Amino acid sequence: MLREIGKGAMATVYEAEHLGLGKRVAVKKLHSHLAVDATASARFLREGRAASQIKSPHVVDVFDVGVEQGIPYLVMELLEGADLAAVLRERRKLPVSELVDLMLPVVSAVHAAHDVGVIHRDLKPSNVFLGKGDSGEVFPTILDFGISKVTTGVEHDLTLSEVLLGTVHYMSPEQTRGGRNASAESDQYALGVMLYECSTGTKPFAGNSPYALMHAIVSSKVPPPSTIDPDLSPEFNQVVLRAMHRDPQKRFSSVQALGVALLPWASEAQKQRWAPALGVSAKQRVAPAPSARSRRRAAFATLALFVAIGAFSVRASRGRSVLPSPSAEPVQEAAALQPPSAVPSASAVPSIHEPPLPAPAQVPRLPASTSHVSTRSGTTAPAGSGGDGVPSRGNSPERGTNGALIVE
């Protein structure tokens, strides 16, 4: 062990040198007071096994798992950079094109996890690490499969039905009723919350306690993102609100379909990179998303058209022979500015197996942090080690909407 680089509610992360591999690695060790709990130890070791099953370069690479002197540990790749939560603390929000370029590899990694039956259950900005790729570009990586749910094989489900797992702000309505209710649709909901937060600078729901927050999640209407930032388009509203629909059956058919719906906002380079991986063929043109400026220009041209028609009607009613008003000229421009629908139908998404995907070329500017795992605001908890949920009040445990204990 060379140095401690982060500590969370469940584990401590160290920078170390792997003598056999001859490289620097990150070693994550479960806290000793938790190691005596057989369920906590089993869940910790399952994190490594779950991550190793997923065929995506955008999932943290786990080299080894084991137990030393009764303490479970994971040996993982050492990442340089900062997590998405740190970026949001510095910049508050991201432009939609930049955000979509960043989220497409994240969506692809979640899709790859679902392909092998792994549900993450705790997707949030602090579990998306923005490391560096081989060419120095920012490379998103999903961390912390410590509370993941494995839906295939014979592995025992370590989640009791009465226990809530996850971080409350990103919990789907069904997750507030217990960890076993989490599904691929729940991960999609969390991605929708991340899109909402990163594009508006605020979370969709608030509450002065975990219970109040969960009550808002299951009963309050989600305000459209454009009510917070008017520059966000109605089409973007539709994508985010569908991913966050209270009814899981009314969300996108898969996170892959969510990725296809986000493609119109991607940069041209990222459209070319990710469209084939998401099942969009070269013959299917991805329409550009309308910008706020183009929508205003189109609205002005449409208004000019109505004014021209009104003027023409008044003159015609007086029996005059008139020519079209010059103010009607912007009509052709308005037609040119009206793009086709920017939100593809989920039914158009083919069912494919997604191969390992390349790193995106354009991603957001990082803050100055260069540590493997950034610490959270007000805590020393490292990204990927848990422990950044909404704190409970007083000494009594917080409970969910069904009276279940909340485990963060």
Tens-of-pLDDT digits for all 408 residues of the chain?
A: 789 887 777 888 999 988 887 889 999 998 988 888 888 888 788 777 888 889 899 998 888 888 998 999 999 888 888 999 999 999 999 999 999 999 999 999 999 999 988 888 889 999 999 987 777 777 899 988 766 566 654 344 444 334 456 689 999 999 888 767 788 999 999 999 999 999 999 999 998 998 999 999 999 999 999 999 999 999 999 999 999 999 999 999 999 999 999 999 999 988 998 999 888 876 565 656 665 555 555 455 545 555 555 554 545 555 444 334 333 333 333 333 333 344 444 334 333 333 344 444 444 555 554 444 433 333 333 334 444 444 344 444 555 544 444 545
Please give the C-alpha separations between residue 280 and each of 192, 265, 379, in angstroms, as whole numbers: 21, 15, 43
For residues 5 and 26, is the Cβ–Cβ distance under 8 A? yes
Question: Which residues are marked as active site?
Answer: 122
Three-state SS for 76?
strand
- As a whole number of angstroms, the distance between CA 198 and CA 201 comes to 6
Question: In terms of DSSP bridges, do strands 405-407 and 163-165 run parallel, antiparallel, or are they unpaired?
Answer: parallel
Within a 10 A sphere around the Cβ of 2, how many other Cβ atoms? 11
- As a whole number of angstroms, the distance between CA 196 and CA 240 comes to 7
